[in-house]
C-alpha cells in the first residue's frame, strides 16, 4: 500500500472513478477527487496532495489556468502535476509545458494502467 496523497481533477465522474480504480490497483489508497478547477484550488489548500492528475478541458476554469494558479503559489511549488487530456493538439500541450504552467508530465486520454504507473513513477522520482 502507498499512502501518497493523489488528487484527481476531472469533470467526468466516470473518468475520476476509472483513474481512482487504476490507482487502487497500483496500490495507492489516499485518493481525493475534484470535479473542476475551482474545487481543485479549494481542496488542495486543505489536503496538500503530493500529486494532482489534472484534466485540461473542464467547464469554468480549465486545467491550464488551474495549473497556472497552482504554480503561482509558492505553497504548491513541490506539488507534482500530471496533465490528463484528450486534446492531443500541439497548442494545448505547449500551453501545459509553458513556463507559467510547468506540467510535470502529460498523459493523453484514454490511458492504460501501465502509462499511469509510468507517469506516477516519473513524477515521484523527481522528489
pTM of the entire structure?
A: 0.92
- Please report which confidence band the pLDDT of residue 27 belongs to, taking 50, 70 and 90 as the band edges: very high
**What confidence score (pLDDT) does residue 126 get?**
74
Q: Where are the domains of the chain?
A: 6-125
Instruction: State which CATH number among 3.40.190.290, 3.40.50.2300, 3.30.360.10, 3.30.70.940 fits the domain covering 6-125.
Output: 3.40.50.2300
**Per-residue exposure over 41-56, b if at least 16 CB sit within 10 Å of its own CB, e if not:** bebbeeeebbbbbbbb
CB 55 within 8 A of CB 27: no
**52-56, 98-102, 111-115, 117-121: range with lowest mean pLDDT:** 98-102
Amino acid at each position: 500500500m502507498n499512502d501518497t496523497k493523489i488528487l484527481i481533477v476531472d469533470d467526468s465522474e466516470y473518468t475520476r472513478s476509472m483513474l481512482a480504480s487504476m490507482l487502487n490497483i497500483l496500490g495507492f489508497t489516499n485518493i481525493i477527487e475534484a470535479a473542476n478547477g475551482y474545487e481543485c484550488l479549494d481542496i488542495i489548500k486543505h489536503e496538500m496532495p503530493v500529486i494532482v492528475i489534472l484534466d485540461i478541458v473542464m467547464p469554468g476554469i480549465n486545467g491550464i489556468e488551474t495549473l497556472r494558479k497552482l504554480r503561482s503559489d509558492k505553497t504548491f511549488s513541490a506539488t507534482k502535476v500530471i496533465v490528463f487530456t484528450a486534446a492531443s493538439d500541439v497548442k494545448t500541450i505547449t500551453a501545459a509545458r509553458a513556463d507559467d504552467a510547468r506540467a510535470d508530465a502529460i498523459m493523453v486520454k484514454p490511458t492504460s494502467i501501465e502509462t499511469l504507473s509510468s507517469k506516477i513513477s516519473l513524477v515521484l522520482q523527481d522528489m
